[in-house]
Structure 1
Amino acid sequence: MRFVTFTKSGSVPRLGAEFGDQIIDLTALALKERIDLPDNLLALVRLGETGRQTVVAHLSKRPPQSLRPYLWPRGEVSLEAPFRPGKIIGVGLNYTQHVEESSRSLDTDRELPSRPVLFSKPGTAVIGPGSAIRHDSRLTAQLDWECELAVVIGRTARKVTEEEAWDHIFGYSIINDISARDQRRSGQWFFSKGQDSYAPFGPVVVTRDEIPAPLELDLSLRVNGEVKQDSSTRHMLFGIPRLIADITSGVTLEPGDVIATGSPDGVGAGFDPPQFLRPGDVVEATIESIGTLTNPVVDASGPVSAASAPAGAA
């Protein structure tokens, strides 16, 4: 299934799913039909396969016409970030060509890493489709993009093997790993990659059964309609099972945690001359079988208002 979190006319976020070219309001369906179903996507993810099967079972046994009261045209709803992850674990230098690009433009090691390069992004960095990436000129002149496949964990994973890793995945989404290249501090990336709005996430979470070959997906990124990244997940240096096994050798992954699996080449810092995001730009990150995550860039050099603070998605 393709799960979403959505709002309508300023409503609180609701659990939904793509239903053809419409959005089905699973929160309203569950309340009306007395179905034992969470009202938010994070809680559903924490149910793992049981949650997905509950939704599939109820939708599959219903005649389509009985679902009409719960369906909304896409144009009448706003998609939000699917949820706020408990942990976002980023993977650096996970595409061979990006390793070369980074060694040339970002002074990283030109040798391929022998183990995954890991960092974290806080949940407060998460924004949803259509929400603004904040460009604060007081903090950066080098705001960059990175289109990445996001792996959503669905079962607690601790010291799992590569063979066991697939069973701990709920599904997949997109993360745009926004980075302030000039805010790396003695090799530490947290502030560079963890500022508010630096983790656009969405627009959907596609369950694992719908994407049987996640290491064969085309991915691309456009800025103002111009292609900047164009690659495939088949070029990952460390595949998804290796990432999960490596992380869980010492860090427990819990349902609702997200792994951002790394970026291919084509980041702004790698161009000659470098290209960076500016207020007014529009960034579109696309991954095959998932969709497109679109976000504008806005000037955030003024004082922070309550309305511009990161949303606390459930």
Structure 2
Amino acid sequence: MPGTFPAAAPTLSGDTLTISRFLASPAAIQRRLRDFRDLRFVSDQLLTQRFRSQGGAVLYEQSEPNVTDRTAEAVSPGSEYPYANLGTGTAAVAAIQKWGQKVLLTDEELARATFPGTAVDRKMRKVVNSTIKQVDAIAMSAIYAAVTQTFAATTQWSAASPTFLRDILRAKAVIVGLNQGYMPDTLALNDTQYAYLMSDDKFTNALQRETTDNPVYTGEVERVAGLTIVVSPTITKPLVLDSQQLGGMADETDGSPGYAVSDLAVQIKVIRKDDQDAYDLQGRRKTVPVVQEPGAAIEIDNTNLEA
């Protein structure tokens, strides 16, 4: 029996697509899957050093003094030089944790997928993202727990007349004033703090105006007071820090067969399961955050914009 013309439009109920056989199948447009850059994980930008561990832990020293325990003295001719002791930092040990998970991909799902060639990539991307997210949360908790220096903003940043630039410069001065060789290079903000900073007229009026690089046009401020701005929802209180000295991530490599390294040191592996006609897509990172120099960072309080 001939069908009616024009045929009814396709309908979608949940995951079930109903379409007349007299119509061509509509193009299925696959949503772009976001990666760690889009999700703005930042711990590896704040803890930039990379360490290797063995034996399941890493031993390190915090805040080693740069001078001896006594001042240099005037030495008379023929006299013996006075001995001084070399101070050491506070010893600490951090145990490596293995963070990971796996997902199942069946042969049927692979064969019946609209885009079978990308089924593995999309599932593995989610595993990698989830692993990075967990490590990022652990690292940010370690940073906030270790950093004890605070600076109270002169005026709340949400008030009518905040002093963003002065507060950032004064917080930076506290770190430099320790005279430990710290050189702050990063300002970490969340989205709300960044929005208030970028829209403050005292700040924007100090920027070059006759250029299309102005934040009014670009919507971005990349640097302020010599500090690279890092923006992420994982930031609670604003941080000014020296990313080269604050610390790093200690990763353990064990030479397990079959693993390849993906983004941010996450190791991935595809395991065939013949008894299930399926694959395990597995990802892991064996690491621990190490905050070696807590004095290289400072929190800015009293902003009224804490997450």
Do both proteins adopt the same fold according to a TM-score greater than 0.5, normalized to the shorter chain?
A: no
Larger Rg: 2
TM-score normalised by length of structure 2:
0.22
**Bigger relative contact order (CA 8 A; separation at least 6):** 2
